Structure 1
Amino acid sequence: MANVGTHAPRREGERDLRTLPKAHLHLHFTGSMRHDTLQELAAAQNLRLPRTLAEQTALKVEPSARGWFRFQRFYDAARKVVNSETIMRRLLREAAEDDLAEGSVRLELQIDPTSYAPFVGGLTPAIEIIVDEACAIERDLGISMGIIVAASRMRHPLDARILARLAVQYAGTVMGFGLSNDERRGDTSSFAAAFRIARHGGLASVPHGGELLGPPHIHEVVDSLEPTRLGHGVRSIEDPRLLATLVERDIALEVCPASNVSLGVYRDIGDVPVPQLARYGATIALGADDPLLFGSRLLAQYEAVRGMGMTDREIADLAAGSIRASRMSETEKHAQLARVNAWYEGEG
């Protein structure tokens, strides 16, 4: 008879991925919306949704400017329903609830407040609302929260500087500064001043790069914006020397497999090179990006890498990497990393 308190080892692939502690570091505000919430809000506002959104069909587009335009059109259609403080607070809380249900212990959610400022009285109130609700969520739900203020490549770099200065004023709950939208638009180096402002104010540098464009673009992002983490970065696999640099500098990659397939970067989920990146020693934080459009949340990304043949030990290492790459306190990280190990050892 087994001793009381011992645990039989779990078989490979049988550990419950939902109970694996993990940090979610790549999730966009509007893109986090539940489909039921979108439908409810659209109906209440008499807004007609595009068929893809109305039918909850996972978006899949060609990897071109035309494809991105289609993606952006759907995103903008969803964003139209987010037109009040009450709705903003609701979306953030529901995103946290969904993450918590999938085993997230930390959510660092990205928002460009410019899109919501007209409905709440300006940029400052928009950030105030998000920061206040994030703090309330931490108290109410127990999930650790961080906010990334993101500039858009589609706007002037001076707008990015304004956002960076504002973000620094809320350093703490606001822990990062990002740059999103179509990587093929804008001049990356022209956003360097905004990122300097953010870094000097104590914020992590977390720009997008290396999904739609390959290694030359990643080099430009690394050289100009000095990222702490790289949003996506998956195409660094195409240049081993570049990947070695990312590993050496400990620049974590926020890899979003469902996004990569929906945006036509890879044909199938099994083609996303998460195992290869991990074997090179890259720190990887799996993310859902925009689950409203891509049809799968964070847990599905972990299920996908299991389907790629990654072992439970390797998946636990991915989760540990996401926690280390987060902006949780060192005390919190230590506690959560112990829980990851317990998950693998069968004690969780």
Structure 2
Amino acid sequence: MVLKAELHCHIEGAASPELVLSQARKYGVDTSDFLRGGAYHWHDFTSFLSAYDAAASLFRSEEDYALLAEDYLTGLAGEDAIYSEIFTSPDHAERAGLSRMAYTNALGEGIERARTKTGIEGRIIVTGVRHFGASAVEDAARFAAACGHPLVTGFGMAGDERFGNVRDYEKAFEIAREAGLGLTVHAGEFGGWESVEAALNHIRPTRIGHGVRAIENPDLVHRLVEENVVLEVCPVSNIVLNVYPDYASHPLPDLLEAGCRVTLNSDDPPHFHTSLGHEYHVARAHFGLDDAILHSLTRTAIEAAFVDDTTRRRLRDTLDAKTVAQ
């Protein structure tokens, strides 16, 4: 058994089909357009976004969001995960009619419930949506910087990385940086290696969400190694969304061979018929990574986590104690 840690998961995209069906019954909503046979159904990126939004729309109250976070983190703990960071979206909160603070408090409550039940540690990364424009991302950054919630420790940007110019979002990330938040940004998925380079030049994050397309530029890979930037890699997502046609084409082994710091993550797990445990299985089965390497990837995630030093030491000690016991 390998202990696990996750840095890249969108909480609305992590809602299990079972939980969504329960929510649909609660609100009297027909889910047949996007949920059939106990699984999400979509056929391209546009229909995936539609299914994502439809499922997210069934979380409308503070208790709904607390249940969502509790359900996801409890499930992670059942797969031997000791740490989780979730991407949250203030924009979804507003669509649900909740204030950003009520939404964040509710997710924090769910994280605390899961920790009480299982011991798993969790944190929140507030995200802006890139294709909503620079002002919307700055608003998200201001909220993240000012909200004061003890579990909000990071800021990121998701959405279509092909939209706009990264320099337009510099102000948002400066707001978050000045507030002492950890920084991550989606790049190097659909935007090519150029989006990774732009993120390094203009945002200077410590982590990149995805980042796999950096492999197309050897100089950029060298820069990632030199600058100690951590990649939040989501292999199954990359295959399902056709970033790569198959696992044999996926650059994870090459990134590791080049010396990149890599972590394993599930992105929007039920939409891609995956889980964090399955990502580790894929890494073993398709990339030939043994338990020692998988352990090192978990350790990288803990070292790169947006947590205080005391929590990091506790997580590191838990990981090392399990390794010694084996």
TM-score (norm 1): 0.87
Q: CA offsets per residue over residues 226-249 of structure 1, 9 Å max, x none?
A: 111100001111112101111111
Asked if 1:115 corresponds to 2:97, the answer is no
Asked if 1:186 corresponds to 2:164, the answer is yes
SS of residue matched to 2:9: strand
- Name the structure 2 match of 1:311: 290
Q: Tell me the CA shift for residue 269 of structure 1.
A: 3.1
- Name the structure 2 match of 1:104: 81
Q: Tell me the CA shift for residue 270 of structure 1.
A: 3.9
- Name the structure 1 match of 2:195: 217
For 2:153, the aligned partner's letter is M
Which is worse superposed, 333-342 or 253-262?
333-342
For 2:130 and 2:38, locate their aligned partners in 1 and report how far apart those are by CA, in whole Å: 28
- Name the structure 2 match of 1:143: 120
Q: 1:56 to 1:183 in 2, by over 3 A?
A: farther
SS of residue matched to 1:83: coil
Aligned pairs (5 A) from 1:192-211: 192-211=170-189
For 2:19 and 2:113, locate their aligned partners in 1 and report how far apart those are by CA, in whole Å: 21
Work out whether residues 284 and 321 of structure 1, in 8 Å CA contact, stay in contact via their aligned partners in 2: yes
**Root-mean-square deviation (CA), in Å?**
2.0
Q: 1:312 to 1:136 in 2, by over 3 A?
A: closer
For 1:309, the aligned partner's letter is G
Q: 1:339 to 1:142 in 2, by over 3 A?
A: closer
For 2:264, the aligned partner's letter is L
SS of residue matched to 2:288: coil
- Name the structure 2 match of 1:55: 37
Q: Which runs of 5+ in 2 are unaligned?
A: none
Aligned pairs (5 A) from 1:1-348: 16=1, 20-57=2-39, 61=43, 67-169=44-146, 170=148, 172-307=150-285, 308-345=287-324, 347-348=325-326
For 2:207, the aligned partner's letter is R
Work out whether residues 212 and 233 of structure 2, in 8 Å CA contact, stay in contact via their aligned partners in 1: yes
Work out whether residues 34 and 42 of structure 2, in 8 Å CA contact, stay in contact via their aligned partners in 1: no
- Counting aligned pairs with the same residue, the percent is 28
Q: Tell me the CA shift for residue 56 of structure 1.
A: 4.3
Work out whether residues 70 and 113 of structure 2, in 8 Å CA contact, stay in contact via their aligned partners in 1: no
Q: 1:40 to 1:121 in 2, by over 3 A?
A: closer
Q: 1:118 to 1:183 in 2, by over 3 A?
A: closer
For 2:291 and 2:306, locate their aligned partners in 1 and report how far apart those are by CA, in whole Å: 25
For 2:230 and 2:84, locate their aligned partners in 1 and report how far apart those are by CA, in whole Å: 16
Which is worse superposed, 329-338 or 30-39?
329-338
Structure having greater relative contact order (Cα 8 Å, sep ≥ 6)? 1
Work out whether residues 8 and 232 of structure 2, in 8 Å CA contact, stay in contact via their aligned partners in 1: yes
Report the number of matched residues.
324
TM-score (norm 2): 0.92
For 1:167, the aligned partner's letter is A
Work out whether residues 120 and 126 of structure 1, in 8 Å CA contact, stay in contact via their aligned partners in 2: no
Q: CA offsets per residue over residues 98-132 of structure 1, 9 Å max, x none?
A: 11111111111001122122435422322232234
SS of residue matched to 1:28: coil
Q: Which runs of 5+ in 1 are unaligned?
A: 1-15, 62-66
Work out whether residues 59 and 294 of structure 1, in 8 Å CA contact, stay in contact via their aligned partners in 2: no
